Chain A
Amino acid sequence: MLAVRVIPCLDVAAGRVVKGTRFVDLVDEGDPPELAERYAAAGADELVFLDITAAPEGRGTLLDIVERTARKAFVPLTVGGGVRSVREMRDVLRAGADKVSLNTAAVATPDLVRRCARRFGSQAVVVAIDARRRSGPPGGAPGWEVVVKGGREGTGLDAVAWAARAAALGAGELLVTSIDRDGTQSGYDTALLRAIADRVPVPVVASGGAAGPADFVAAVRDGGASAVLAASIFHRRQHSIAAVKAAMAAAGLPVRPVPGVAA
């Protein structure tokens, strides 16, 4: 049975892993490949690097980090942040990434999703969707708007409709972040996850708001997520990956045992 993936997300800026409430109050956390190796050894099922600077002049640094990580951590690596073309995606894959996540560029040019999927296969194309809750009609269901540029800019797009379109264009996976919950440790937006998971045939990765093991369980059970991503609770060592997996297993979810730790 396919295990629910637990995925630490590493924010990378100028070649270093940083932490902070996303994009502000950044604190240097260390060398990305070293941290990646540590997380892999601790039982991470995959790793995500998010290049939060995503400046064109920093691409060389990012590619070097990706390659050094791929040579140290033998678990899958997804890289996101600033990829705007088939050629840029090719460079990141060549450096050692298994998947590339497209966000702002996919919203601006949806056909990029189709072209990348055709060139590299759907399995390599993740579309990252940052969503913000908006109030629906009185008495109606809530809705979510797609936001870009780290949540600073609205798009008017409905997040669930965009998710369905991205999957139809060839995205092999959707990384769904609740911008309202991100960095708040108030739990995933399970209604958002469920709305999207019910509309698409591809796996949905939950992101934004995890505070503890119960949130991971809820993202899968209530939200229908296939994988759970978190940053701060792992970086701050509030919960180990092993503890999160143990809680998920206790709740009856299939997880991959942490190597070296009895299931």
Chain B
Amino acid sequence: MTRIAVVDYGAGNLVSIDQALRVAGASVVIARRPADLEGADGLVVPGVGAAAPAMARLARRGLVGPIRAWIAADRPFLGICLGMQLLFDGSDEDGAVTFGILAGRSELLRDAPRLPHIGWNAVRRTRDHPVFDGIAPDAPFYFVHSYAPRPSGASAPAITLAVTDHGADFVSAVARGRLVGVQFHPERSGRDGLRLLARFVSLVAAWPLDAAAVAAGAAAGPPGRAEAPAPRSEP
């Protein structure tokens, strides 16, 4: 069974992501210290709230280095909401310096009619990616946030996977190699959310190795890709 470590750094509800990954077919380890990552096949960093306290708590638990090393080794990684924002250089919310693995900053959704952006909104894909297999190209997912990362530099179009409109388009999903980041909450997004997590779990077991092809948005996935198990229960 695919083992997924979910990083616990005191940033909100872990019950939903734990349960959703189980329903998606994974065995879940809640990781509070570096040793908890041993034996894990995939890593999930969830989280809501502000970036600076999150980075401070990750640092206190000794998890900054191990997470950085995990991603540097291109091991399967999913960042959710704040867990996606932390991958970028920093956040305008509190000036936090974050992982800096992806170029760009988290910025306030300036053109939003109201903030926080709370509720279900269409995630419009700008390219194909196996984590979205079987999901409509504009399926609604659940959001709750006021900031979103704005990828910058030459790699921005290549890493952008989906955009969502709240007053203006913002980047709602990114991917690079075996890393995926989503601004929405798949664990709170009903059937399609469970489907995405099931896809991630099956990718962890057998990721199409050609990262360049993924980045280029190869229309057809490589052969031999594992199929996602159907969620065991429908929400």
Stretch binding the partner chain, chosen from B113-121, B206-214, B219-227:
B113-121
Q: Measured between C-beta atoms, what is the minimum distance from B151 to chain A in Å?
A: 22
- Supposing A41-B234, A74-B189, A74-B235 touch, asked if A172 and B120 sit within 8 A by C-beta, the answer is no
Taken residue by residue from 111 to 137, chain B's Cβ proximity to chain A (1 for < 8 Å, 0 otherwise) reads as 000111111111000000000000000
Size range of the chain B interface in the assembly: 35 or more
- Min CB gap B55→A, angstroms: 14
Task: Give 12 new A-B contacts, CB below 8 A, not counting A2-B120, A74-B235, A121-B48.
Answer: A71-B19, A72-B235, A74-B187, A74-B194, A75-B188, A75-B189, A96-B13, A98-B188, A173-B118, A256-B120, A256-B140, A259-B234
Known contacts A2-B166, A40-B190, A94-B13: A73-B235 contact under CB 8 Å: yes
Q: A66's closest neighbor in chain B, by CB?
A: B15
Contact A124 B48, beta carbon cutoff 8 Å: yes
- B218 proximal to A (CB < 8 A): no
Q: Which residues of B contact A (CB under 8 A)?
A: 12-16, 19-20, 23, 48-50, 114-122, 140, 142, 144-146, 165-166, 185, 187-191, 193-194, 233-235
Contact A226 B146 (CB under 8 A): no
**Knowing A123-B116, A203-B116 touch, does A93 contact B122 (C-beta < 8 A)?**
no
Cα of A67 to Cα of B16 in the assembled complex, Å: 9
A: contact size bracket: 35 or more
Q: Give Cα A26 to B191, complex, Å.
A: 33
Chain A residues contacting B118 (CB-CB under 8 Å) are 5, 123, 172-173, 203, 226-227
Tell me the nearest residue of chain A to B142, going by C-beta.
Answer: A76
Residue A201 interfacial (CB < 8 Å): yes
Query: A72 CA to B235 CA in the complex, in Å?
Result: 7
Chain B contacts for A201, CB-based, 8 A: 114-115
Interchain Cβ contacts under 8 Å between A and B, 13 examples: A1-B121, A40-B235, A70-B16, A74-B16, A74-B23, A76-B185, A76-B188, A94-B14, A94-B15, A95-B13, A122-B146, A123-B145, A201-B115
| Minimal beta-carbon separation of A85 from chain B (angstroms) | 17
Given the contacts A94-B13, A259-B191, A123 and B122 also touching, CB distance less than 8 Å:
no
Residue of A nearest to B188 (CB): A76
Q: Which residues of B contact A41 (CB under 8 A)?
A: 234-235
CB distance from B44 to the nearest CB of A (A): 15
Q: Which 10 A-B pairs have the closest CB atoms?
A: A96-B15, A121-B49, A74-B235, A256-B120, A71-B19, A70-B15, A123-B144, A3-B120, A123-B116, A2-B121
B144 touches A120 (CB 8 A): no
Q: Is the CB of B20 within 8 A of A123?
A: no
Q: Which B residues touch A173, using CB under 8 A?
A: 116, 118
Taken together as a complex, chains A and B put the C-alpha atoms of A37 and B118 apart, in Å, by 21
Does A45 belong to the interface (CB within 8 Å)?
Answer: yes
A74 x B193 contact (CB < 8 A): yes
A70 and B235 contact, Cβ closer than 8 Å, known pairs A5-B120, A256-B140: no
Min CB–CB distance A63 → chain B (angstroms): 11
Chain A residue numbers with a CB within 8 Å of B16 are 70, 74, 96, 98
CA distance A115 to B94 in the complex (A): 16
- Nearest chain-A residue to B47 (Cβ)? A121
Distance in angstroms between the alpha carbons of A184 and B42 in the assembled complex: 52
